[in-house]
A and B are shown apart, each in its own frame.
Chain A
Amino acid sequence: QVDLTSHIVRVLTSLKVENAGSEPVSKVLLAFPNIQAKNLAAIRAFGTEGKVKGLSSVLPIEVVEPSGVPPELTFFSASLHKPLQKGKILHLDVLTVFTHFLQPFPEEITQADSQLVVFQDSSHYLSPYPVKVQTLSIRLPGGRVESYTKYGNTKLVDSELKYGPYEDVPPFSYNPIIVHFENNNPFAVAKELIREIEISHWGNVQITEHYNIVHGGARLKGEFSRLDYQSRPYARGVSSFRHLIARLPARAHSIYYRDEIGNISTSHLWSDSKKTQLEIEPRFPLFGGWQTTFTIGYGLPLQDFVFSADGKRFLNITFGSPMEEILIEKLIVKVVLPEGSKDIDVSAPFPTNQWQEVVPHWTIDN
């Protein structure tokens, strides 16, 4: 099932794997074409053994290069917790997230046009194993669908496009499909995000985030007319976006929103006991290819994020950005620790580049 409703492509693959061989298997190979693998942002596999869907567990995944396979493919292997015996069945859910997958076409549009994007994939599940039965469903954001590749059993119902079912597909079969459709969701891409997490033992965790945001969709060509934008914002300027929403932790305080030349007064804040929601509006609406930079900052109570045990202190804080539906190309997280901190140890759920600096304070950069 492919979700194309935003500019980030989320694919959830539900596999029912059967060990048809004689030996027990401890690994399952997942294949992606190189073009897709390049844009792969995250991959996560959950496995459940047996017939009943029980508690699923996260499987470790690594890149492998098995021999005797086409070089255009990249392989990931999910290691099972215990080997799959002959004839047994495993339910495997693979969640993959792709960025920069949707190509705007045409690449340049005027203010009045809405943005059309192209999605390319295979209607067959690309796998090194033979596939018995397979379907593909693609969820579109609604609106106009310019064109899509039609095969015998293709259906477009509302905003859902269905391919299949296909039966007995041989290994490595690739059946290209192209979907050309309207997608006016904000293509917010953060070229770079620098998060600074400064811990002060006066009881505050200060977070400062420097964004450099660009509209990654189809570039604006020709004039930008404020008159059109003002009088008919939905018809003229439909491809642009003018605000972003950040979900901050519930007890965030002293929130500010500014850029290099001063405070930006267009922002709104709602908060309840669960979360604090900050809606920020850049100084100008972002059309395709336009960019802006800004900084948001907020303080968090120390006791919510720093715990102490065994004479050591642990900071447990989220790595990513609080922004919704935003794609971050380069993320730098700086953790500024109090002066004199030692025995610094970092654990992150994925590989990172780390280095330490001593500039006025101890600083670890991830």
Chain B
Amino acid sequence: PRPAPRADETLAQIPPPRPPMAAAASTMLESLPAPLLRALRLKTKQQELLLRVSALALIYVLAFAVRLFSVLRYESMIHEFDPYFNYRTTLYLTEHGYSEFWNWFDHESWYPLGRVVGGTLFPGLMVTAALLHRLLRALSLAVHIREVCVLTAPFFAANTTLVAYAFGREIWDSGAGLVAAALIAVCPGYISRSVAGSYDNEGVAIFALLLTFYLFVRAVNTGSLAWSLAAAFGYFYMVSAWGGYVFIINLLPLYVLVLLVTGRYSQRLYVAYNCTYVLGMLLGMQIRFVGFQHVQSGEHMAAMGVFFLLQVFFFLDWVKYMLNDVKLFKSFLRITLTCVISVGTLALGIGTASGYISPWTGRFYSLLDPTYAKDHIPIIASVSEHQPTAWSSFMFDFHILLFLFPAGLYFCFKRLSDATIFIVMYGLTSMYFAGVMVRLILVAAPAVCLISAIAVSATIKNLTTLIRSKSKSPQTTGKTTGSKAAAKGAVDQPLPFQHNVAVALLLGAFYLLSRYAIHCTWVTSEAYSSPSIVLSARGHNGGRVIFDDYREAYYWLRQNTPTDAKIMSWWDYGYQITAMGNRTVIVDNNTWNNTHIATVGRAMSSYEDEAYEIMQSLDVNYVLVVFGGVTGYSSDDINKFLWMVRIGGGVFPVIKEPDYLVNGEYRVDKGASPKMLNCLMYKLCYYRFGELTTEYGKPPGYDRVRGVEIGNKDIKLEYLEEAFTTSNWIVRIYKVKPPKNRS
């Protein structure tokens, strides 16, 4: 065999961009016995490739494995609320086929309206899971669709790390890519939505989002039609998967606009944007739920405007080139610009006035103006994940990334290119949205990871360069390293402890990163791996106590009520009742009809006889309430009750919030308002609760969530009767009695 060049020599001269893990591994490789080492000796490039691939593979496995806490601790089950709907639809898709799914009219929800499911959902997630399921079946692995659904999010999270690597390499270098992949693999902001069992649109959408961005940046960098086409398909997948695609369709034109303004317009940009936009728009129209929104809704108009602007820009460029006369061109420019702007404004004005272009939706407004939802759309404001983000949750979800993010921005500005401008814009806009709504931390997570990765990678590279140049060839610092480092070296030359300081800083960086890893694992295991269907608590003897009340109640509904029974509950539980209880609900988590929800809110906050009339008009057979007073489970219906009042009152002015408050205070004890003490929700929650002793040394009827003794202990139900209460009283189901016979 041909003698290979000695690896350590080459390493000393040109330190290859390697992540810390790779460095550690290479020392391990060098400590192997000599004959074995000779046999294994690879060229530096091959060595680097090997390390990179194995590091990436490890990251891939890590990203998947870290999300499995919930499966190990509980079981392979679907979490939360929305995933149950997704699971139910996926089940339907696998059982009935695609065209049935497309035409599915679901009469089990929104009784008596029903819901056209095929036309009102993003099918990307379900189709993905169904295809994976079919693939596994074809490989003769007899897996249940539930397992596929449970593991879809971790699988796509693992894929996201690959995209992050590629993206990082595209905007900085492969070292930054590897760091980005490692950071995003365990970033809590992303894990919160992608643990096993959280079978939600976001699980695949973040992958699609990052993929689209990567492909687009790649297309801008190369100006290649193929990459733009790929970006269009990535965009299509994103449109099919999540409503958050609106972010892409607004960020891309904004980016193009910034490039135009900063004079970075190029032929590559023109090709990339036009191809991606036109094809992406056409493909996006194929999704029934999106339909013609790309040309008809206000949210998508920015992209179209920029598209036309690009054409004008290109045209002007061409005219300038052809005219070769500055004066003539200036007047031409003036005329064209006036024409274009007036035509554009006119078109937009006519479109909006004639109703062809729909105005911005409430959700969009509430993103731009955080206070909008609070004043106008209580149903959006009532959801906890739509609240503005607190600092603590930023810290919780990003940890050190929060400090690395500005550092990364600094590095990006130092080496401005089309790609870094993109990532900076992505980072800044998504950070803003993350501040508006808690759940959008998810969108910011990839950007924050990428930018932080640039900071980490660049810093470590500088430090290692410093250490290497000091130890190996202290004289030739200026020659071998880049001019930047040379300048730094020249400045730092008089400092005597430069080498030691660099080592200390490097150790500090490692310490920070390891803290990050520990924090992420802790957060994942403690905070984000609970299915919220099964609650667990620590018993007094340290053992785990499981409260499986939700499934107990849903299964009771499934088994012991007539199949056509209609269940009324607050909308939070709608998806779960239809998926697990298999019964018809009045309202569910797809909050498309505010009036219907307000009707339920009104029934819950009325006196029993008024509520009975409402329930009769909706054919309600059973009423389900969630009550935490016995166990101390705080997200129960009594705590949500003010939102029911607000939403009900928003449509039916009969319901007035002050009626339920005493001096602006919400209370359930003796001092509560009479309306509160006698409304349906109060009665259903506290029915016969007054006879129960919940805690030693407290009077009977002591509510452990509110920490008070309830005010109305003698509750009589006239039109309803208790049908079932779960073992820990968390779910209570009441049967609506049939109307009395007239004698």
Where the two chains meet, the residues of A that have a C-beta atom closer than 8 Å to any C-beta of B are 222-227, 230, 259-266, 283-284, 289-293
Q: Report the bound CA distance from A89 to B727 in whole Å.
A: 61
CB distance from B143 to the nearest CB of A (A): 14
Q: Are A223 and B721 in contact (CB under 8 A)?
A: yes
B490 within 8 A of A: no
Select A283's contact among B75, B77, B552, beta carbons within 8 Å.
B552
Q: Are A290 and B560 in contact (CB under 8 A)?
A: yes
Q: Are A224 and B551 in contact (CB under 8 A)?
A: no
Q: Are B580 and A226 in contact (CB under 8 A)?
A: no
Give every chain B residue within 8 A of A262 (Cβ-Cβ): 75, 77, 551
Q: Are A227 and B688 in contact (CB under 8 A)?
A: yes
CB distance from B622 to the nearest CB of A (A): 13
Q: Are B560 and A283 in contact (CB under 8 A)?
A: no
Q: Are B723 and A223 in contact (CB under 8 A)?
A: yes
CB distance from A291 to the nearest CB of B (A): 5
Interface string of B541-578 (1 = CB under 8 A from A): 00000101001101110111000000000000000000
B691 within 8 A of A: yes
Q: Are A283 and B555 in contact (CB under 8 A)?
A: yes
With both beta carbons as reference points, the residue of chain B lying nearest to A213 in the complex is identified as B559
Give every chain B residue within 8 A of A266 (Cβ-Cβ): 548
B692 within 8 A of A: yes
Q: Are A284 and B551 in contact (CB under 8 A)?
A: no
Give every chain A residue within 8 A of B77 (Cβ-Cβ): 262-263
Select A224's contact among B75, B725, B727, beta carbons within 8 Å.
B725
B722 within 8 A of A: yes
CB distance from B524 to the nearest CB of A (A): 22
Q: Are A227 and B692 in contact (CB under 8 A)?
A: yes
Give every chain A residue within 8 A of B560 (Cβ-Cβ): 289-291
In chain B between 501 and 548, which residues have their CB closer than 8 angstroms to a CB of chain A? Answer: 546, 548
Ordered by A's residue number, 15 sampled pairs between the chains whose C-beta atoms are within 8 Å are: A225-B688, A225-B722, A225-B725, A226-B724, A226-B725, A226-B729, A227-B691, A227-B725, A259-B555, A262-B75, A283-B555, A284-B724, A284-B727, A292-B559, A293-B559
With contacts A261-B580, A262-B77, A290-B560 taken as known, whether A284 is within 8 angstroms of B555 at the C-beta atoms is yes
B594 within 8 A of A: no
Where the two chains meet, the residues of B that have a C-beta atom closer than 8 Å to any C-beta of A are 75, 77, 546, 548, 551-552, 554-556, 558-560, 580, 688, 691-692, 721-727, 729
With both beta carbons as reference points, the residue of chain B lying nearest to A212 in the complex is identified as B559
Q: Report the bound CA distance from A266 to B723 in whole Å.
A: 22
With contacts A283-B551, A283-B552, A291-B559 taken as known, whether A222 is within 8 angstroms of B721 at the C-beta atoms is yes
Select B556's contact among A222, A230, A265, A284, beta carbons within 8 Å.
A284
Q: Are B727 and A226 in contact (CB under 8 A)?
A: yes
Q: Report the bound CA distance from A225 to B729 in whole Å.
A: 11
Give every chain A residue within 8 A of B580 (Cβ-Cβ): 261
Question: Nearest 5 pairs between A and B by C-beta?
Answer: A226-B725, A263-B75, A283-B552, A223-B722, A261-B580
Q: Are B551 and A261 in contact (CB under 8 A)?
A: yes
Question: What is the total of A-B residue contacts with beta carbons within 8 Å?
Answer: 57
Give every chain A residue within 8 A of B688 (Cβ-Cβ): 225, 227
CB distance from B317 to the nearest CB of A (A): 62
Q: Report the bound CA distance from A262 to B79 in whole Å.
A: 12
Q: Report the bound CA distance from A263 to B532 in whole Å.
A: 15
With both beta carbons as reference points, the residue of chain A lying nearest to B531 in the complex is identified as A262
Q: Report the bound CA distance from A292 to B552 in whole Å.
A: 11
Q: Report the bound CA distance from A227 to B627 in whole Å.
A: 14
Max chain B Cβ within 10 angstroms of own Cβ: one of A222, A227, A283: A283
Q: Are A224 and B723 in contact (CB under 8 A)?
A: yes
Give every chain B residue within 8 A of A223 (Cβ-Cβ): 721-723
Give every chain B residue within 8 A of A225 (Cβ-Cβ): 688, 722, 725
Give every chain B residue within 8 A of A293 (Cβ-Cβ): 559
With both beta carbons as reference points, the residue of chain B lying nearest to A258 in the complex is identified as B75
Q: Are B724 and A224 in contact (CB under 8 A)?
A: yes
With both beta carbons as reference points, the residue of chain A lying nearest to B142 in the complex is identified as A360
Give every chain A residue within 8 A of B723 (Cβ-Cβ): 223-224
With both beta carbons as reference points, the residue of chain A lying nearest to B721 in the complex is identified as A223
Max chain A Cβ within 10 angstroms of own Cβ: one of B551, B555, B691, B723: B555
Give every chain B residue within 8 A of A284 (Cβ-Cβ): 552, 555-556, 724, 726-727
Known: A259-B555, A283-B556, A284-B724. 4 other contacts (CB 8 A): A222-B721, A226-B724, A227-B692, A283-B555
Give every chain B residue within 8 A of A263 (Cβ-Cβ): 75, 77
Give every chain B residue within 8 A of A283 (Cβ-Cβ): 548, 551-552, 555-556
Q: Report the bound CA distance from A266 to B548 in whole Å.
A: 10
Q: Are B75 and A290 in contact (CB under 8 A)?
A: no
Q: Report the bound CA distance from A227 to B552 in whole Å.
A: 16
Give every chain B residue within 8 A of A291 (Cβ-Cβ): 559-560
Q: Report the bound CA distance from A227 to B723 in whole Å.
A: 12
Q: Report the bound CA distance from A329 to B425 in whole Å.
A: 68
CB distance from B268 to the nearest CB of A (A): 52
Q: Are B555 and A292 in contact (CB under 8 A)?
A: yes
Q: Report the bound CA distance from A141 to B723 in whole Å.
A: 30
Q: Report the bound CA distance from A13 to B439 in whole Å.
A: 74
Q: Are B554 and A261 in contact (CB under 8 A)?
A: yes
CB distance from A251 to the nearest CB of B (A): 25
Q: Report the bound CA distance from A263 to B548 in whole Å.
A: 10
Give every chain A residue within 8 A of B551 (Cβ-Cβ): 261-262, 283
CB distance from B214 to the nearest CB of A (A): 37
Q: Report the bound CA distance from A325 to B311 in whole Å.
A: 82
Q: Report the bound CA distance from A52 to B155 in whole Å.
A: 75
With both beta carbons as reference points, the residue of chain A lying nearest to B735 in the complex is identified as A223
Q: Report the bound CA distance from A223 to B548 in whole Å.
A: 22
Q: Report the bound CA distance from A292 to B551 in whole Å.
A: 13
Q: Report the bound CA distance from A2 to B723 in whole Å.
A: 38
CB distance from B521 to the nearest CB of A (A): 25
Give every chain A residue within 8 A of B559 (Cβ-Cβ): 290-293
Q: Report the bound CA distance from A254 to B723 in whole Å.
A: 36
CB distance from A293 to the nearest CB of B (A): 7
Q: Report the bound CA distance from A266 to B546 in whole Å.
A: 10
With both beta carbons as reference points, the residue of chain B lying nearest to A226 in the complex is identified as B725
Q: Are A265 and B722 in contact (CB under 8 A)?
A: no
Q: Report the bound CA distance from A259 to B558 in whole Å.
A: 12
CB distance from B522 to the nearest CB of A (A): 26
With both beta carbons as reference points, the residue of chain A lying nearest to B693 in the complex is identified as A231
With both beta carbons as reference points, the residue of chain A lying nearest to B717 in the complex is identified as A223
Give every chain A residue within 8 A of B729 (Cβ-Cβ): 226
Give every chain B residue within 8 A of A222 (Cβ-Cβ): 721
With both beta carbons as reference points, the residue of chain A lying nearest to B548 in the complex is identified as A265
Q: Report the bound CA distance from A227 to B725 in whole Å.
A: 9
CB distance from B415 to the nearest CB of A (A): 52
Give every chain B residue within 8 A of A290 (Cβ-Cβ): 559-560
Give every chain A residue within 8 A of B724 (Cβ-Cβ): 224, 226, 284
Select A226's contact among B554, B721, B726, beta carbons within 8 Å.
B726
Q: Are B721 and A265 in contact (CB under 8 A)?
A: no
Q: Report the bound CA distance from A230 to B630 in whole Å.
A: 13
CB distance from A44 to the nearest CB of B (A): 35
Q: Report the bound CA distance from A172 to B558 in whole Å.
A: 49
Q: Report the bound CA distance from A292 to B662 in whole Å.
A: 45
Give every chain B residue within 8 A of A226 (Cβ-Cβ): 722, 724-727, 729
With both beta carbons as reference points, the residue of chain B lying nearest to A225 in the complex is identified as B722
Give every chain A residue within 8 A of B554 (Cβ-Cβ): 261
Q: Report the bound CA distance from A8 to B715 in whole Å.
A: 42
CB distance from B550 to the nearest CB of A (A): 10
Q: Report the bound CA distance from A111 to B676 in whole Å.
A: 31
CB distance from B537 to the nearest CB of A (A): 14
Q: Are A265 and B552 in contact (CB under 8 A)?
A: no
Q: Report the bound CA distance from A293 to B558 in whole Å.
A: 10
Give every chain B residue within 8 A of A230 (Cβ-Cβ): 727
Q: Report the bound CA distance from A265 to B549 in whole Å.
A: 11
Q: Report the bound CA distance from A148 to B551 in whole Å.
A: 44
Q: Report the bound CA distance from A263 to B725 in whole Å.
A: 20
CB distance from B329 to the nearest CB of A (A): 71
Q: Report the bound CA distance from A219 to B613 in whole Å.
A: 29
Q: Report the bound CA distance from A263 to B560 in whole Å.
A: 19
CB distance from B727 to the nearest CB of A (A): 7
CB distance from A79 to the nearest CB of B (A): 46
Select A261's contact among B555, B721, B725, beta carbons within 8 Å.
B555
Q: Report the bound CA distance from A230 to B728 in whole Å.
A: 10
